[in-house]
Structure 1
């Protein structure tokens, strides 16, 4: 599904170099869902952006052999100066989907009403999140990337998000970053702990949670 081949990623800040991935080689296998844990600053969100292709590694390469989503609910996928409708149609075409089918789903799911024809820059943060989340679910991906987002909005909308996402999980894998142990346990069958620039993989999620708790103590 996704392969990391000797991936090296770092940032420079105030003259110091922060290493996120230190020459990591790892296969994310199809048919498995991975929960990624790590203390604050370990680089979990950076990992998700690398897997999505939003950022590039400083060394090595990332190979994707499946249709991978952008981070679920990530509003940066949309252009702020055009309408929600224009954004949805454009992204649907980019991914080879039927624009009318995608639009129908997003209009019903996002519940932004007449704002669908307004520039995305005029949306509230909640409207933006609902549109982005609905668009993420409207495209048929083989793997969904999730960074601390499984639902947005009020309780009713949150329940609807969870129900729709559960349908997608029946035929797609997920790679999820979360600080919620219950969420990781509910959605994932494998665990990864990111620490010291390395990714420690566990076939049992509880073992990953145990290591994370020790690191976070």
Structure 2
């Protein structure tokens, strides 16, 4: 279970204050996958980062009694001056994983070859995505956070990603952000719609999509 308790999150700019979550209390129950919907700029990605713990709320608390991933494919935490291999070792140690197993998995999965020992700053965006997705699949979580699934690499590699993700989904819940309603309906049974700092939750994903479509006209 993931519980948001009176969570308040805002960003200040010189012109105004953008409220993402306005004292939101909500529960994402274990055993269900949720589609998180909202118009552009509503704060969906920020909400995922808050749930992951990569950002903190300005007020309120987020409680997790399950192992929650970082947003899937998120490579922003890699140290650019350090090699891909050493980045993998660092993350594996943080999560208490077998370092050699994680490195072997990502080395095989990412197909980066000698680049795994090069500094991440020398990587293309596609190579970073391969490293990040491989790491996401190397560590098992109870709940995966997914922010706009996109294809990585050629068709053969994309198929490998889909197969690996399908295997993880059999044993884990998801919270998915996507503008593709087909993706949301394929992965999720429940839904939540973020609008003007408020989070509306629905037991039926079709109802959430209906509300989102009305807002997005």
TM over 0.5: yes
* Separation of aligned partners in 2, 1:155 and 1:103: 24
Determine the structure 1 residue equivalent to 2:36.
Answer: 36
* Separation of aligned partners in 2, 1:70 and 1:81: 21
1:69–1:145 contact (8 Å) kept in structure 2:
yes
Determine the structure 2 residue equivalent to 1:213.
Answer: 213
| Unaligned ranges ≥5, structure 1 | none
Shift of 1:151: 3.7
Listed one character per residue, the Cα deviations across residues 126-183 of structure 1 (whole Å, up to 9, x for unaligned) are 0010000000110011111111125422221111111100100111111110000000
Listed one character per residue, the Cα deviations across residues 99-125 of structure 1 (whole Å, up to 9, x for unaligned) are 111111101111111101111111111
After the TM superposition, which segments of 4 or more aligned residues of structure 1 sit over 3 Å from their partners?
Answer: none
Listed one character per residue, the Cα deviations across residues 72-118 of structure 1 (whole Å, up to 9, x for unaligned) are 11111211111111111121111111111111110111111110111
Determine the structure 2 residue equivalent to 1:93.
Answer: 93
State the superposition RMSD in angstroms: 1.0
Determine the structure 2 residue equivalent to 1:183.
Answer: 183
Shift of 1:14: 2.6
* Separation of aligned partners in 2, 1:15 and 1:56: 23
Determine the structure 2 residue equivalent to 1:110.
Answer: 110
Determine the structure 2 residue equivalent to 1:57.
Answer: 57
Relative to structure 1, the CA distance from residue 150 to residue 190 in structure 2 (aligned partners, 3 Å threshold; closer, same or farther) is farther
* Separation of aligned partners in 1, 2:61 and 2:200: 19
| Unaligned ranges ≥5, structure 2 | none
Determine the structure 1 residue equivalent to 2:122.
Answer: 122
Shift of 1:15: 3.2
* Separation of aligned partners in 2, 1:122 and 1:46: 28
Shift of 1:18: 1.3
* Separation of aligned partners in 2, 1:34 and 1:116: 34
* Separation of aligned partners in 2, 1:149 and 1:86: 26
Shift of 1:202: 1.0
Determine the structure 1 residue equivalent to 2:155.
Answer: 155
Determine the structure 2 residue equivalent to 1:172.
Answer: 172
Shift of 1:204: 1.0
